[in-house]
């Protein structure tokens, strides 16, 4: 008796919070890696001349720039905090289910709150 291939609908699977944090850690790492050339270009353009600085400032000064910088800030904070969480796993801290779940929630909540605080306090 042969089994038919099993269709795994990934949209119906309810991941635990640890899985969501882990996937977001990988995604933010990939996004931040891909953003490095863009950020370096903007930085070099802003240092090249006064017109380049005005151009970069014009791109980042409006609502889109605020949103972009807020998302990049969240990605950096989330990636950093999730990395600390994974380092804790490497040294044996938080491997039991309750602690892993608590650190996953803590990582997500702290990243969102810190990014929101920075976005509304530091960014214009």
Cβ atoms within 10 A of the Cβ of 82, count?
Answer: 23
Domain presence at residue 99: yes
What is the residue range of 73's domain?
62-124
Tell me if 85 sits within 8 A of 19, measured CB to CB: no
Domain presence at residue 27: no
Distance CA 68, CA 120 (A): 13
Domain presence at residue 48: no
Number of domains in the chain: 1
Dihedrals phi, psi of 60, to nearest 5 degrees: -100, -5
Domain presence at residue 120: yes
pLDDT of residue 6: 79
Whether the full predicted model's pTM is greater than 0.85, yes or no, is no
pLDDT of residue 91: 95
Domain presence at residue 25: no
Domain presence at residue 70: yes
pLDDT in tens, the chain (124 residues): 567 777 778 788 888 999 999 999 999 999 999 999 999 999 999 999 999 999 999 988 888 888 898 999 999 999 999 999 999 999 999 899 999 999 999 999 999 999 999 888 876 6
CA 79 to chain centre: 5
Distance CA 89, CA 96 (A): 10
């Amino acid at each position: 008796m042969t089994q038919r291939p099993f269709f795994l609908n990934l949209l119906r699977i309810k991941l635990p919070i640890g899985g969501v944090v882990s996937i977001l850690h990988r995604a933010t790492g990939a996004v931040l890696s891909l953003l490095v050339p863009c950020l370096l270009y903007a930085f070099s353009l802003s240092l090249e001349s006064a017109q380049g600085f005005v151009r970069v400032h014009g791109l980042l000064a409006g609502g889109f720039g605020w949103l972009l910088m807020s998302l990049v800030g969240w990605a950096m904070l989330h990636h950093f905090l999730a990395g600390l969480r994974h380092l804790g796993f490497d040294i044996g801290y938080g491997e039991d289910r309750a602690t892993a779940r608590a650190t996953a929630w803590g990582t997500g909540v702290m990243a969102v709150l810190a990014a929101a605080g920075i976005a509304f306090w530091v960014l214009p």
